[in-house]
Amino acid sequence: MSPVEIGTYAIGALILLIYIGMPIGIGMLLVSFAGVGLMRNEVVATRMIGAVANDALREYLFAVVPLFVLMGLLVTVSGVGKDTFDVFERLLKRVTAGLGIATVFANAVFASITGISIASATVFSRVAVPEMTRHGYTKKFATGVVAGSSVLGMMIPPSLLMIIYAVLAEESVGRMFLAGIGPGLLLAVLFSGTIILLAKTSRDFVFTEVTDTETYDDLPVMEIIRKAVPIVALMMLVLGGLYGGFFNPTEAGAAGAFGALVIAILRRSLGRRRLWNLLVETGQITVSVLILIMAATFFSRMLALSGVPRELAEFFLSGSIGPYGFLVMYLLLIIALGCLIDSISIMLIMLPIALPVANAAGFDLIWFGVLTVVAVEIGLLTPPFGLSVYTIKSAMDDPDLQIGEIFRGALPFVLAMVAALALIIAFPSIATWLARL
């Protein structure tokens, strides 16, 4: 067999292994080792996997992964998410469907200090959904708002997906973070517009009651300030330090983790047992992510050795499909994969194949990365996988709440994300203007 045929069969074998339930990291390592072994020999394959493990995991940059994960977990247990929602609830209670919009913007702020969509979905399913249903919103709409706005966690920096993309594409993490701000704010505005539109045109979808007769908790100005100070301080510490040039991404992660630890200690929400559990969970998430990155790097090198990316670039760019035809097909494939597998796995499978083609097409790889993250995040809301939806279901612990009901509630936000994707394609500066300053 020719190297191109071996590379093609390796891609097919990886898809088959994932389909039958093999962990993505192990599947990538197996097919990559077999592919290099067939193209060269077992000795070369063994040496290459050792070199990949050394090259892929020794980078100082990778310390950012456990630091941002730890920061997100500390923020989650310290009650900052509830405080964020309380502040926006107080500010927007008189706006049409104000609690829905409050959930979106609270999620946007929470995203800027966590970077993990699942953390947002867990926190706000417990904080926002009960409050919204108490005020006459349907469970379908309330859970849909939380599911939809939770994707902001991977869009607004800091973002774990942005870090992984930057590593695989060999782009600056700081620039990727900057590129996520514009699209993140665009998504928040589109989600808010969607909520207002639904409230005016499909009231039965949004409300169970004609009028909201429940009272709102009155928050004095000083209480609002007390709740807002930790949030603003952590945002200023992480994002201000990063974009002000005081920290690199790893140092910003360390500063953020320390700030979140101080907040959790001051609020007495962190006992020894809980701290130990958070450290263990941070380690588990970090190890799984780093193993996946190592496997994806090996897979990428095997594909480069086979020549498959070069052949794909020639096929897409010299034929009638063209660069934007390739882009549309790529985004559709990512959205389709999102119905079946998780976000990180999609990126690790697709990017080694797609990045050489995107580079040959002359695409801005930072813009391409933002499109990739938005498309991947759509998969968090689409059946049958819909990780955010299942996270909300498990966090709610409500036997009367059906999975299908949450998916239906999230559908308008999926459409809003597709609209955001089209806008970013049509106007690349939405993603690139800050990153290129």
Name the token pair of 212: 């909201």
- Report pLDDT for 427: 92
Q: State the alpha helices, DSSP H only, in 202-248.
A: 203-206, 221-235, 241-243
Q: Is 87 a residue whose pLDDT tops 70? A: yes
Residue 88 amino acid letter: F
Spatial CB neighbours of 259, under 8 Å, sequence gap ≥ 6: 71, 233, 234, 237, 238
Give the C-alpha separation, 319 to 8, whole Å: 20
Between these two residues, 305 and 395, which has the higher pLDDT value? 305
- Give CA separation, 42 vs 34, 81, 380, in Å: 8, 51, 39
Three-state SS for 335?
helix
pLDDT mean across residues, the chain: 81
Q: Is 213 a residue whose pLDDT tops 60? A: no
- Report pLDDT for 219: 64
Name the token pair of 150: 């939770």
Give the C-alpha separation, 100 to 89, whole Å: 9
Q: For residue 100, give the nearest of 186, 216, 209, 196 by alpha carbon.
A: 196
Between these two residues, 49 and 416, which has the higher pLDDT value? 416
Share of the chain above pLDDT 90, in %: 9
Please say whether the dihedral angle defined by the alpha carbons of residues 92, 417, 179 and 53, taken in this order, is positive or negative. Answer: positive
Backbone torsions φ then ψ of 380, nearest 5 degrees: -70, -15
- Report pLDDT for 415: 93
Per the DSSP assignment, residues forming a β-bridge with 207 are: 137
Spatial CB neighbours of 189, under 8 Å, sequence gap ≥ 6: none
- Report pLDDT for 210: 57
164-168: average pLDDT = 85
Q: Is 418 a residue whose pLDDT tops 70? A: yes
Q: For residue 127, give the nearest of 148, 151, 143 by alpha carbon.
A: 143
Of 99-113, 182-196, 249-263, 386-400, which one has max mean pLDDT? 182-196
CB of 408 within 8 A of CB of 144?
A: yes
Give the pLDDT band (50/70/90) at residue 366. very high
- Report pLDDT for 436: 67
- Report pLDDT for 194: 92
**Helix, strand and coil in the chain, % to nearest 5:** 80, 0, 20
CB of 104 within 8 A of CB of 192?
A: yes
- Report pLDDT for 245: 76
Share of the chain above pLDDT 70, in %: 92
Q: Half-sphere exposure of 333 toward its Cβ, with a 13 Å CA cutoff?
A: 13
User: Lowest mean pLDDT: which of 61-70, 90-99, 209-218, 348-357?
Assistant: 209-218
Per the DSSP assignment, residues forming a β-bridge with 137 are: 207
**Neighbour count for residue 43 (Cβ, 10 Å):** 9
Three-state SS for 47?
helix
Q: State the alpha helices, DSSP H only, in 151-248.
A: 160-169, 173-201, 203-206, 221-235, 241-243
- Give CA separation, 175 vs 67, 354, 370, 436, in Å: 19, 20, 11, 8
Give the pLDDT band (50/70/90) at residue 404. confident
Name the token pair of 124: 């706000």
Give the pLDDT band (50/70/90) at residue 38. confident
- Give CA separation, 400 vs 129, 382, 396, 406, in Å: 14, 21, 10, 12
Angle CA(228)–CA(233)–CA(239) in degrees, nearest 5? 120
Of 48-62, 308-322, 392-406, 415-429, which one has max mean pLDDT? 415-429
CB of 393 within 8 A of CB of 349?
A: no
Q: Half-sphere exposure of 19 toward its Cβ, with a 13 Å CA cutoff?
A: 7
Q: Map tokens 């782009």 to a residue.
A: 171
- Report pLDDT for 124: 77
Give the C-alpha separation, 303 to 311, whole Å: 11
Encode pLDDT of 43-69 as tens digits. Answer: 888 888 888 777 766 766 677 778 878
Give the C-alpha separation, 338 to 334, whole Å: 6
**Neighbour count for residue 246 (Cβ, 10 Å):** 12
Encode pLDDT of 274-284 as tens digits. Answer: 889 888 888 88
Q: Is 437 a residue whose pLDDT tops 70? A: no
Between these two residues, 265 and 116, which has the higher pLDDT value? 265
User: Lowest mean pLDDT: which of 58-62, 183-187, 194-198?
Assistant: 58-62
Q: Is 407 a residue whose pLDDT tops 90? A: no
Q: Is 421 a residue whose pLDDT tops 90? A: yes
Q: Map tokens 């689409």 to a residue.
A: 382
Between these two residues, 113 and 160, which has the higher pLDDT value? 160
Spatial CB neighbours of 74, under 8 Å, sequence gap ≥ 6: 257, 260, 261, 263, 264, 270, 278
- Report pLDDT for 187: 92
Three-state SS for 134?
helix
